[in-house]
Structure 1
């Protein structure tokens, strides 16, 4: 089996880490060719700064890794390290995969069952993950490498214990960051929704909402859809159609003016949207509501008899 963290076998069976490489390295004025591993790799930046390019299909992403940050790179992901001529960096690298447990130490499956943050991490596949250390990961990583240097890779108890500690530290950092991002996303979503409710009668676009909350339109689109299950345009349409229904039911505003009240400039487009949303044209909707109201009044008269 390969060394990816995201394999069904790890959830179903009992597997423990197997270490392939671990080393310190000072890099200066260096450009590494693209390569990939069958193992998961942790690259910890001890000092300096470097660039790591990661390929995903035909696209390439660049990550600037700074002191105190580290990257977890999944197995099979093409990547390369680049250190500018005027810069240098010192890194600690560890590459690991998995092997079947002999029952001496807890398996990855058992760890995930005990530590909800580890389960959270393992259920969210990534090609690479960059996190900022809180002075927790490096001491454990350093102890793990020292243990491997002195005792080897033969599945010793201390090695596995340090790996468990390392994985839990990384998982907690990841879960904390994701929770913080979600809270920030909720803030932007709430501000966006408030803006939509207050401006649905105007000709507004996604870029207007993004400007209001000081975010890039593309990023806001992703955050909003992830948080609400709908795009901003879909959400705005819902607000407008619900408002149109209320105006048709409870006011005498002429139907041909309703589109202006809800910010849809074209009456033809408004009619199309409304029928798609309700299954009725605005005229049919108002007539049906008027008929229901009249029937209701008639029923009240019958009751009095």
Structure 2
């Protein structure tokens, strides 16, 4: 994957803390993206597929991923209908979190300091299967510390962060180990193809050949599975990418339209207004003050941890 939006710490972190926690609810058309910071993503609820770098991984509750800056990824729920949501608990870590405050150096063990230094240098993703979901309590405590942050809570935050890294470090794997399982529905691959080629001209004939069925049969199956036509889904994907580019870049609106594969500005404005209820300029202005609604409302909760 390449050429996808980069979600930046300057926008996503709402306070001076180098740590942020978000519980996101993923959709079929969640956009492929990168970060300029590290993310520990923990599958809290539901089943899905994780497309990360060049890998496609079936995920379930307890699966954890350490995602360094610059690694492209997206989660996708296994269920097409939205009745079984896929929720991911994300621990966002600014680069500065690895710069240990001098007042804490003496309270961390040499092993903790070495482990933090190790994770800081990671450039490839890694994974861990917490089948018993034993890390849930640790994430709950980390969320409480984050939510009730005071000048005296920094040691507790670092203690919990070190516990997290200590728990997953011995078991991290690349590639991520998976037990044998059934093949995924090929329409997940179709949607991934659309997410990867959203800025190109994709014909119905081309996309139906992608899974070796007739265009007519493809249209019928696609609508049956997703509740949307192929064109409706493609337009939705392009509008979601447009929202992210508006939120995270200073690109001109005309350039964003071209970036998502739409050369007709009147058509772009009409689609965007139908999708978001506002003009692109109004959306960009609104996002400056509503960062919790980034990524088409995927954020499920920014203040409450896993139950």
TM-score of the pair, normalised by structure 2: 0.43
Higher strand share: 1
TM-score of the pair, normalised by structure 1: 0.43
Higher helix share: 1
